[in-house]
Each structure stands twice: as C-alpha cells, then as structure tokens.
Amino acid sequence: MKINKPLLQKMAHLAQLEVDVHNEETLLEDLNKIVTWIEKLKELDTTGVNPLVTMTLEHNIFQEDKPQASLAHEKGLANAPSKDSNYFRVPQVKE
C-alpha cells in the first residue's frame, strides 16, 4: 500500500487536520516509511506465538463499582468561571 497525495488529503480531512502544503512531501515520505515497516512485520512467522494482551506482567486490580454519594449539583457549579443554567459554559473548541 502506498499513500499518495489524494489519500493523504482524504485522511487529513477525516481526521480534521490541516496539512501545510510545504510539509506535504515530507509527511508523505514519513507515512510511507511507516506503512513499509508495518508491511515488513506482516512477513514475520508468528506460528506458535501466543498473542499478548499486555506488554507487562503486572495485573490490573479493579475495584468493584459501588454507588456512593457525590458532589451536589450546586456545589459542583459554585466555582465555575462561567455557567449557563445547570451546565458549565466552556470556550468553543471546534468551528
């Protein structure tokens, strides 16, 4: 698989990223190097190798979820720099 300019533009659009025209060629080269490296990994013979679930030998210890009292709604909004009725008001992050 080779990444070309139209595919790069489509990927950038889907990821909502702006790709600078001056850096487009460098980005294409880097992405194609990554794809080539991943394709080399597909050539490895992994017969008899058990898949890893985690990279460490440590085990996660989860707490059982138990309902408990939480912060009152009014107290949660008390220190909000900006609020609208019962909601936090935050700056717009997407146009």
Total H helices, total E strands in the chain: 3, 2
Q: Is the pLDDT of residue 32 over 90?
A: yes
CB-count exposure of residue 58 (10 Å: 0-12, 13-18, 19+):
exposed
Q: Domain for residue 18, yes or no?
A: yes
> Average pLDDT in the 51-57 region?
75
Q: How confident is the model at residue 55 (pLDDT cuts 50, 70, 90)?
A: confident
Q: Domain for residue 66, yes or no?
A: no
Q: Which residues contact 28 (CB under 8 A, 6 or more apart)?
A: 3, 4, 5, 8
Q: Is the pLDDT of residue 73 over 90?
A: no
The CATH number of whichever domain residue 9 belongs to comes to 1.10.20
Domain that holds residue 30: 5-41
Q: How confident is the model at residue 34 (pLDDT cuts 50, 70, 90)?
A: very high
* Domain count along the chain: 1
